[in-house]
Chains A and B, each alone.
Chain A
Amino acid sequence: MLNIEKKAENSVLTVLLTGRLDTTTAPELEKEIKGSLDGVTKLVIDTEKLEYISSAGLRVLLAAQKIMGKQGSMKVIHVSETIMEIFDVTGFADILTIE
Chain B
Amino acid sequence: MDTNITRQAYDQNSQQGLAAMKEFMEVETQKPMELTTELLLKLLQDNKDTEYGKRYDFASIHSIEDYQKKVPVVVYDDLAPYLERMMAGEKNLLTAYRYDHFNETSGTVGVPKVVPMTDEQSQVFAKYNNLHMYGIIRDKVDPDWMNGRGFCTSSGNCRTLPSGLTVGEASAKMADYIKGGKDAFDAMIRTLYTSPLEGLNPAAGADTKYIHTRFALMDREVRGMVTGFYSVIVLFLRYIEDNIELLINDIEKGTISENVDLPDEVRESLLKKIEPMPERAAELREIFKDGTDIQWVPKVWPHFTYITGAGGDGFEVYDKVIKQHFTGEGITNIYSGITASEGLWSVPAGINDFDSILAPCAAFVEFQPVEAGDDFSKCVTMDKLEVGKIYELIITNLSGFWRYRMSDAVIVTGFHNKTPKVQFMYRVNRTINLAEEKTTEKALQFAVEKTCQEMGIDLADFTVYPNTDVTPNRYDFLIEPMHEITKFDMAALKESIFKNLCEANPVYHDCYADNWLAKPEVFFLQPETSLLYRDMMVYRGASMNQLKPVRVIMNEKQRKFFLSLRQEMEE
Contacts and interface: CB of A to CB of B under 8 A. Distances in A.
B259 A37 contact: yes
A23 B481 CA distance: 12
A26 B258 CA distance: 22
Contact of B561 (A22, A56, A70, A90): A90
Interface of A: 22-24, 30-31, 34, 37-38, 54-56, 58-59, 62-63, 65-67, 70-71, 85-86, 89-91, 95
B532 A58 contact: yes
Given A34-B246, A55-B529, A90-B564, 12 more contacts: A22-B526, A23-B528, A38-B258, A54-B528, A55-B526, A55-B527, A55-B565, A59-B528, A62-B535, A62-B539, A66-B261, A89-B561
Contact of A66 (B258, B525, B539): B539
Given A23-B484, A56-B527, A59-B531, A95 B536 contact: yes
Given A55-B526, A55-B527, A67-B259, A62 B532 contact: yes
Interface of B: 242, 245-246, 258-259, 261, 483-484, 525-529, 531-532, 535-536, 539, 557, 560-561, 563-565
B484 A22 contact: yes
A73 B392 CA distance: 50
Contacts of B563: 89
Contacts of A34: 246, 259
B374 to A, nearest CB: 37
Nearest to A95: B539
Contacts of A58: 532
Interface centre among A55, A67, A85 (most CB of B within 10 A): A55
A38 B528 CA distance: 27
Contact of B258 (A31, A54, A63, A71): A71
B253 to A, nearest CB: 14
Nearest to B480: A55
**Chain A binding site: helix, strand, loop or mixed by DSSP?**
helix
A34 B245 CA distance: 10
A96 to B, nearest CB: 11
A91 B427 CA distance: 28
Contacts, number: 65
A54 B246 contact: no
Contact of B526 (A23, A85, A89): A23
Contacts of B565: 54-55, 90
B561 A91 contact: yes
Contacts of B539: 62, 65-66, 95
A16 B352 CA distance: 50
Given A23-B484, A55-B527, A59-B531, A89 B564 contact: yes
A58 to B, nearest CB: 5
Given A62-B532, A89-B561, A95-B536, A55 B261 contact: no
Contacts of B483: 23
Nearest to A26: B528
Nearest to A60: B242
A67 B563 CA distance: 28
B259 A91 contact: no
A86 B564 CA distance: 7
A35 to B, nearest CB: 9
A66 B242 CA distance: 15
Given A22-B484, A30-B242, A91-B557, A56 B261 contact: no
A80 B258 CA distance: 32
The 6 closest A-B pairs by CB, nearest first: A89-B564, A55-B529, A89-B560, A55-B526, A55-B528, A56-B528
Contacts of B246: 34
Contacts of A59: 528, 531-532, 535
A6 B246 CA distance: 21
Nearest to B483: A23
A99 B521 CA distance: 37
Contacts of A91: 536, 557, 561
A83 to B, nearest CB: 12
A30 B532 CA distance: 14
A62 B527 contact: no
B23 to A, nearest CB: 48
B209 to A, nearest CB: 11
Contacts of B535: 59, 62-63
Contacts of A62: 532, 535-536, 539
A90 B525 CA distance: 13
A38 B249 CA distance: 15
A70 B564 contact: no
B532 A55 contact: yes
A38 B563 CA distance: 37
A26 to B, nearest CB: 8
12 contacts: A22-B484, A22-B526, A23-B484, A23-B526, A23-B527, A38-B258, A54-B527, A62-B532, A62-B535, A89-B560, A90-B532, A95-B536
A59 B261 CA distance: 17
Contacts of B531: 55, 59
Contacts of B536: 62, 90-91, 95
B245 A31 contact: yes
B193 to A, nearest CB: 26
Nearest to B292: A27
Nearest to A37: B259
A89 B529 CA distance: 13
Contacts of A23: 483-484, 526-528
B479 to A, nearest CB: 14
Contacts of B564: 85-86, 89-90
A54 B526 contact: yes
A27 B322 CA distance: 21
A54 B525 CA distance: 10
B261 A70 contact: yes
A44 B355 CA distance: 52
A97 B251 CA distance: 34
B285 to A, nearest CB: 15
A62 B531 CA distance: 12
